[in-house]
Chains A and B, each alone.
Chain A
Amino acid sequence: RKEVEQDPGPFNVPEGATVAFNCTYSNSASQSFFWYRQDCRKEPKLLMSVYSSGNEDGRFTAQLNRASQYISLLIRDSKLSDSATYLCVVIANTGGFKTIFGAGTRLFVKA
């Protein structure tokens, strides 16, 4: 079982739609959680951190469920420019801090 698992997609949605991604992690010692965005053939860039109380930034909302060991990303009112791969990132304390990347979920927003 992968330490961080994401549905690879692709998710194909029309402009204006709401779309949600989940990411599950296996290490209960995980401490920090993030969503990164990666455009095609580009480098990953931080989209948002995920806090225990949840986090909202404009059209994007991230939530953490420690009991079920998953984080989620909700995108409202999707734009064409939201088309990208969304990477789930977890930092676990395994006797040393370890950053684990999910393989990513691809999103295509269509006009």
Chain B
Amino acid sequence: NAGVTQTPKFRVLKTGQSMTLLCAQDMNHEYMYWYRQDPGMGLRLIHYSVGEGTTAKGEVPDGYNVSRLKKQNFLLGLESAAPSQTSVYFCASSADRVVGELFFGEGSRLTVL
């Protein structure tokens, strides 16, 4: 089973460039999330979605946009990348918001020069 798949796995950008991270899940989960993980810090929620066509801001949404046009896909966009956005990005999905297990993708390592 594929579970949660993220693309690309690695990317290097120059400041000001734009890019989109794609997340796909095959578990029919309603909830999807984008997190970033930085050294010494817990995963921080960027944006999330509670179902197809919905998106909501998380803890650190500035500089990012998301879309969930199809239930299985959740896209994270950086319109104008900044060095502060250098991080590892994880997509996750869950069947339940409170007690459900979070299933993570393998992560996308982004470096902004």
Contacts and interface: CB of A to CB of B under 8 A. Distances in A.
Contacts of A64: none
A36 B90 CA distance: 14
Interface stretch (B11-19, B38-46, B60-68): B38-46
B26 interface: no
Interface string B71-113: 0000000000000000000100000011101101111000000
Interface residues of B, number: 17
A32 B99 contact: yes
A103 B40 contact: yes
A8 B35 CA distance: 20
Contacts of B40: 8, 103
A43 B98 contact: no
Contacts of A87: 42-43
Chain B residues touching A, majority SS: loop
Contacts of A42: 106-107
B87 to A, nearest CB: 14
Contacts of A43: 90, 104-107
Interface of B: 35, 40-45, 90, 97-99, 101-102, 104-107
Interface of A: 2, 4, 8, 31-32, 36, 41-46, 49, 87, 89, 91, 97, 99-104
Given A36-B102, A44-B43, 9 more contacts: A2-B42, A4-B42, A43-B104, A43-B107, A46-B102, A89-B102, A99-B102, A100-B42, A101-B42
5 contacts: A36-B102, A89-B102, A101-B43, A101-B44, A103-B41
